[in-house]
Structure 1
Amino acid sequence: MSWLQQRERGGAALRLMGWIARVAGWRLSYALLFPVTAYFLLTAPARQKEAVRRFQRRALGRETGWRDLWRPYFAFAATMLDRVYLLRGQTTGFRITVSGLEALDAKIAEGQGCVLLGAHLGSFTAMRALADGCAGRRCPVEVMAFMYEANAQLANKLFSALSQEKAQLVVPLGRPDSMLRAKECLERGGLVGILADRRPAVGEDRVVPLPFLGASAPFPAGPHILAAVLKAPVMLAFGIWKGPRRYEILFEPFADRVVLNRASREEDLRAVAARYAVRLEVVARAHPENWFNFYDFWEEMAEPAAAAAPARGPSVARRAALGLPLLALPRLARAQAQPETGGLEAVMAALSAVRRTEAVFEESKSIAGLADTLSSSGTLRWEAPSTLEKRVVYPFAEQVTVSGARLVYERAGRERQEVNLDQAPEVRALVEAIRSTLAGDLAVLREHYEVGFSGSLQDWTLRLSPLSMRVRAVVQRVEVQGAAGRITRFETVGNESSVMRISYRS
């Protein structure tokens, strides 16, 4: 069973513990961790406990008992309690030691942004507290964490309420602007933290099977592809829980830059992911009670008869703007426009005359660093003045609907996501590339793009070059082909490129 399928537990208990921690203080709250841990351990699903035991047998090299099983549950509860205080800046009584900080300091001194690869091992909040000066020295640059939070919404909502300022520095993966924010943080010389041990990961569900504690385990390729795209130095970082209010932060150089050569991409990707898995294994063996992957990490346990594995596909971050690319790119030069005003205006008039239409599409997507191409098909529905629906029927069912300033993404078995385009200008620009073209609204297109035109009314091509630097960090160009008032081909070119071929039902 995937960790995404595990139901979040203990919402009421979390709220109660949060209230006790704020009102009664740390000592009483810590004492309550013992009965709380006992409750969660006793009521944990049998599959979850078996998954923990399998990790422990491999990490410890022996059979395990209830005391071994108790330790990760208690350590996790302790880090959750400490998180309440660390997020509120109440660090009195905490002892945080650091190893390997010199290498990170050198990167910061050079003004380089840096990617910190971590894992669901220990506490990222402790590293956040280190950046805030808990160990006696404040980090001189911003630190932003990127995490997949879909299965911990209750906890995340509670902790976000404790510190809105720090909550802004934790960015859930799967949002349309996630990768843009990572790129901008690095350009400012900041630190970007990514947990690289679970799938789905950044921008891609693809995994690399690698040896880990004596057996093959699936590791996400996404974080390493992202590091290669961002062209930033990479370090490993772990916040190890050592006991009551005690943490050790470990930093370790990993790569000056992750390089995936075109001729040996698959081998390079596997090699860099394998290096990460080897180092994670060392830390996991040394601190097994800090392993907080309470699920079948090796994906070797038989599924219950009633459980259906979720369909896997590209992440929401690559779908939310109707299939337009949402991964960060280096800045690229703006394409030269080729205006032919008369022909362009005639095409826009023909498009604007179509008030409602339905079509079928076939789309292929490719991602820099990956050999695979993802194919999909489905239907498109356009209704003037502003409603566009893209419904995928193969290889999985999902739907993206844009109406006015609202974008809604829906997929069976996953949370419905909504984006306000007024608050996401980069996403709006990507949406308008196809919507404003369908609407024949040249004025809106020119708000976001330099518009180049070639051809005639019966066979035309639009070349859209983003005006915004932020949008150019996402997509190099958009090319739209059509005949009269119909679009027949829609292509985006960037780190994630896609080609959509459209045919009409009538």
Structure 2
Amino acid sequence: MSWTRERERGGAALRLMAWIARRMGWRFSHALLYPVTAWFMLSAPARQRESMRRFQRRALGREPGWADLWRPYFAFAATMLDRVYLLQGRTKGFEIAVTGLEALDAHIAAGWGCVLLGAHFGSFEAMRALADRGCPVEVMAFMYEANARLANAVFSALSPEKAERVVALGRADSMLRAKECLERGGLVGILADRRPAVGEDRVVPVPFLGAAAPLPAGPHILAAVLGAPVMLAFGVWRGPRRYEIRFEEFAARVVLRRGAREADLRDSVLRYAARLEAMARAHPANWFNFYDFWEELDGPGRPAPVPAAVSPAGRRAVLALPALAAAPLAAPGAAEGGGLEAVMAALAAVRRSEAEFVETKEIAGLADTLPSRGTLLWQAPSTLEKRVVEPFQERIVVSGERLVYERPARGERQEVNLDQAPEVRALVEAIRSTLAGDLATLRRYHEVSFAGTPEAWTIVLHPLSVRVRAVVQRLEIRGVAGSIRWFQTVGNESSVMQVTPRT
């Protein structure tokens, strides 16, 4: 569900708060934030609270407590209060520290203008207050305003001249105004973390805090068209009237090459998401996306479990997991039709299969390869087994919600509960989805690309989870009709497996 469908709350409360702030002063108004925050948090829709709980769980790496859930609500209320004063230029008592200003000054001095990519994270108003202190060029902010009309109306009344410097994205003249600002050497700020209000298909699903999130393509396309240097900009709320403004270099230019446009676009969005993720982990109270950011709650999803610690033996099992997907899937023939759907239909037709494999691994830092031989078994709906017989004995079995790794000669045995290991589950479910021909589930965990025909095909998987990508960056499967014949993983331990079905 898009943020644009979430009902805006608190219009009357904002007007009242703005009136109190102007007449009673900051200290009195700040004391009122505690009951106001409590009311907003306790009266928030269950869906909103669950969305924030999921964010906190992923950002903190543990189950959030009430204090964790309270902080972003309170920080948001505090920045709204501060916004009343910052819009009017009343900055006495505020502390605003700045890092990375030298790089921004260099772009300004060069007269090129600059695109600043921000997010609904912390205070964008604190950055505009910094500009008011003596920025030599104009600053314009471009953002989607569809779900904040009440708040924008309140704050625009406080400072009509600053409201003119906020331009709604999606309007016919948005691109022209951005281009004219840059040509004058100005700064164009764009919040690049929310799915657009119009043209909702213009998103790029990328890994963010361990799951795929739909980030907008528009800001990156706009930056490419404008052809100006790009920096990241964050206004981090540090406490009462305390902010840290951070500027970071992002790209000399965002370039979308002809013939590689989608790959270049995804790379730009990925790099933005990685930096936003780092900021969200470091300052989770500044996360102001109070909605289903991953768009999970329309389905039957449940909160992601806290990752469990995995021993070295279990880690080897995780590294070997992708090889389980190489079990031969002999089907009578590909389904009628073409492309990926036909191949997945052929795979789904197989309920049980066995094969022999020869696998060669390349381990980072070692010149020699490490070959091994063994057998593979797939039994629908959920059992996978890989048994190594040479040069050592090893067994990995996934069945239901449990993964078991065994190395008898070393006395090693490790069990992993998939409910407590979401990164392992991502690999397991991707493998089971491939074997079961379940394309919808496969796409929840991987970016899927397909080449060839149903008779001779290649499927390439790129994990969406950042943590999974730390182990396996890419998986490539090649097959003939309904049978897998070749499998490759690229990661910390890259491997190539040749598969021979048992007749």
What 5-or-longer segments of structure 2 have no aligned partner? 301-503
The residue that corresponds to 1:252 in the other structure is 248
Residue pair 1:204, 1:222 contacting (<8 A) in 2 also: no
Compared with structure 1, are the counterparts of its residues 29 and 292 closer, same or farther at alpha carbon in structure 2 (3 Å cutoff)?
Answer: same
Offset of 1:301 from its aligned partner?
A: 1.1
The residue that corresponds to 2:385 in the other structure is none
The residue that corresponds to 1:57 in the other structure is 57
Q: How does 1:90-489 map to 2 (within 5 A)?
A: 90-133=90-133, 138-200=134-196, 205-302=201-298
The residue that corresponds to 2:7 in the other structure is 7
Distance 2:157 2:261 in 1: 43
Amino acid at match of 2:165: L
Offset of 1:172 from its aligned partner?
A: 1.4
Offset of 1:151 from its aligned partner?
A: 0.7
TM-score, normalized by length of structure 1? 0.58
Offset of 1:202 from its aligned partner?
A: 8.8
Q: What value does the CA root-mean-square deviation take over the aligned residues?
A: 1.3
Larger Rg: 2
Amino acid at match of 1:182: A
What 5-or-longer segments of structure 1 have no aligned partner? 305-506
Offset of 1:204 from its aligned partner?
A: 6.8
Compared with structure 1, are the counterparts of its residues 256 and 203 closer, same or farther at alpha carbon in structure 2 (3 Å cutoff)?
Answer: farther
The residue that corresponds to 2:45 in the other structure is 45
Distance 2:213 2:79 in 1: 26
Distance 1:205 1:169 in 2: 28
TM-score, normalized by length of structure 2? 0.59
Distance 1:208 1:177 in 2: 24
1:377-407 C-alpha deviation (Å, 9 max, x unpaired) = xxxxxxxxxxxxxxxxxxxxxxxxxxxxxxx
Offset of 1:68 from its aligned partner?
A: 0.6
Distance 1:4 1:255 in 2: 29
Distance 2:17 2:214 in 1: 35
1:3-23 C-alpha deviation (Å, 9 max, x unpaired) = 101111111111110000000
Paired-residue identity, %: 79
Secondary structure at 2:297 match in 1: coil
Offset of 1:205 from its aligned partner?
A: 4.1
Residue pair 2:4, 2:197 contacting (<8 A) in 1 also: no
Secondary structure at 2:260 match in 1: helix
Amino acid at match of 1:290: N
Distance 1:19 1:193 in 2: 29
Distance 2:257 2:142 in 1: 26
Distance 1:181 1:129 in 2: 21
Residue pair 1:237, 1:252 contacting (<8 A) in 2 also: yes
Distance 2:103 2:256 in 1: 24
Secondary structure at 1:186 match in 2: helix
Secondary structure at 1:263 match in 2: coil
1:153-193 C-alpha deviation (Å, 9 max, x unpaired) = 11100100001110101111122211111110000000000
